């Protein structure tokens, strides 16, 4: 497998995204989410939506950003609930 194919199957941003969604320490989640969002945004700017071979990654990044938004919202709600308790 050549480098381009390995990057296509496992983009670099994926590791940072995975670390955010799998972080077991709820206190660290907001920082992980912020880091993942930055990596995703950086990669988004590098891609060209007019190129069909890059469209799949743009779709994956879009899905990842939606998941991070949900994780961030859930994390914030948990923080509010624990402060109220």
Residue 7: pLDDT over 70: no
Residue 9: pLDDT over 70: no
Give the pLDDT confidence of 44-82 residue by residue, as tens digits: 999 999 998 888 889 999 999 999 999 988 887 776 777
Model pTM above 0.75: yes
Burial 23-51 (b: 16+ CB within 10 A, else e): beeeeebbebbeebbebbeebeeeeeeee
């Amino acid at each position: 497998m050549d480098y381009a194919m390995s990057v296509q199957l496992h983009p670099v941003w994926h590791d940072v995204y995975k670390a955010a969604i799998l972080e077991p320490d709820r206190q660290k989640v907001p920082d992980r989410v912020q880091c993942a969002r930055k990596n995703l945004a950086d990669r988004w700017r590098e891609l060209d939506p007019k190129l069909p071979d890059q469209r799949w990654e743009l779709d994956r990044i879009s899905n990842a950003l939606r998941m991070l938004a949900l994780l961030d919202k859930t994390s914030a709600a948990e923080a509010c609930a624990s402060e109220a308790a």
